[in-house]
Amino acid sequence: MKKIVIAIFAVLLFGCANENQYTIEGKIDGGEPDQWVYLKKKGVNSNTMLDSARLGRKGEFEFKGVIEYPQFFNLTTQERFATLLIKPGEDVRFHTRAGNFHDYTVKGSPGSQQVQTLDQRLRKTKSKLDSLARLYRRKQDHASAEELEHINEQYRRILDRQRDSSVAFIINNLKSLASIMALYQKVNEDLFVLYKNSDLQYISLVADSLRDEYPRSEQVKALIANKEDLMRKYRNLELQSTVNRMGKVSRYPEVDLPNLQGDTISLQELDDKMILLSFWASWSEPSIQRSLEMKSLYKRYHDQGFEIYQVSLDQSVEDWQRAVRFDQLPWINVSSLNGFESYAARIYNVQELPTDFLIHQERGIISKNPSKQELRRQLSIALD
């Protein structure tokens, strides 16, 4: 009787393990025989090496393992990698060429195909945005305002198409861990793909959906634990259309950048009652002239609660530093050194230099590009 029970237990155990086993059969065309391929489990903060394999004569390799719920993996060579999302029991077939892991095919794993769709779509968007940014830089000194605005409009349309596709992906794949990747995707280090205030709802939607589906997943646990922090980051990186309008608004987007000494200064944490947020660059003569005009007003009203928070769109720290010191600019000067591609420039829709916003600490943005006379009038009303 005991032998029968043990045999049944062994069959059940084997059957369970077999259901949870995954297999990755891969081939790398043009790969060198005996080249190593590595399989890593993709964690929240770090990756864990699981296995390694040498390529066969035709570039083939294989990995096997056991998982209890869907997992993210990185399939890597020394310099290239592809991200897979594998469920228990899946037989995955992966095919690519040496030196180009981005251009691969994957079958037998719907999650991995979803990840590939997200990655490829974002890569194409970034390429288009980079091309437009380069075009803008080439033309900004001699093109008309209408031509530059056309380039900006193209940039915004591409950005919005990327966002719309990510929203559609999340809604259609709420039960997939790939939706977490969609939440965290960024156009660059400063800007989430999902950048609108209404996009906050998708964080809760994904977290609530996956909590019920995969409560033991490391990525799901991290999303639930960090949901409020991620929502805060979204709010800070929110792209607000109200900035484009003249007149009063109830709030203003954050800018949080380092100065020449490397100290990060937050716009929203300034205590001054009136703030002039000024975008400029050392190569822009109108910017330099505007700065020189502001010095007398700054001297007059600074001690009464007026501050200038100036964001340089220079891309060379030497040029930025030289201009600040040569003109002896006494106020706050910060920069990401990313030019018009910087998040601060995009969030405030900066299309020409200089561009200024007068901010009242309680009322928000009260005017855009105020003249010196208008600025003096506003400061005298608020501070005198």
Q: What's residue 235's pLDDT?
A: 53
**Same domain, yes or no: 71 and 198:** no
**Same domain, yes or no: 18 and 131:** no
The parent domain of residue 207 ranges over 113-236
Q: Which residue, 90, 108, 126, sits at the end of a domain?
A: 108
Tell me whether residue 12 is in a domain: yes
DSSP character string of 274-294: EEEEEEE-TT-HHHHHHHHHH
pLDDT tens-digit map of 191-217: 788 877 667 778 888 888 898 889 889
**Burial level of 11, CB count in 10 A (0-12/13-18/19+)?**
exposed
Q: Which amino acid is at 70?
A: P
User: Do strands 91-97 and 21-29 pair parallel, antiparallel, or not at all (unpaired)?
Assistant: parallel
Q: How far apart are CA 62 and CA 27, in angstroms?
A: 9
pLDDT tens-digit map of 116-169: 999 999 999 999 988 988 888 888 778 787 887 888 888 888 988 898 888 889
Q: pTM above the 0.75 mark?
A: no
Token look-up 């990510």 returns: 166
**Same domain, yes or no: 103 and 199:** no
**Same domain, yes or no: 11 and 80:** yes
What number is the average pLDDT over the span 330-355? 89
Structural domain total, the chain: 3
Q: Which residue, 205, 236, 267, sits at the end of a domain?
A: 236
Tell me whether residue 241 is in a domain: no
**Same domain, yes or no: 350 and 368:** yes
**Same domain, yes or no: 143 and 92:** no
Q: Which amino acid is at 307?
A: E
Q: What's residue 243's pLDDT?
A: 38
Q: Which residue, 108, 143, 170, sits at the end of a domain?
A: 108
Q: How far apart are CA 118 and CA 178, in angstroms?
A: 8
Q: How far apart are CA 164 and CA 178, in angstroms?
A: 16
Residue 7 has pLDDT above 70, yes or no: no
In Å, how far are 132, 257, 329 from 337, measured between CA atoms? 18, 10, 18
Which of the 8 DSSP states describes residue 152?
H
Q: How far apart are CA 363 and CA 251, in angstroms?
A: 7
Tell me whether residue 16 is in a domain: yes
List, in sequence order, every residue forming a beta bridge with 355; answer none if it has no partner: 279
Tell me whether residue 18 is in a domain: yes
**Same domain, yes or no: 254 and 378:** yes
User: Do strands 36-42 and 71-76 pair parallel, antiparallel, or not at all (unpaired)?
Assistant: antiparallel
Q: Which amino acid is at 232?
A: R
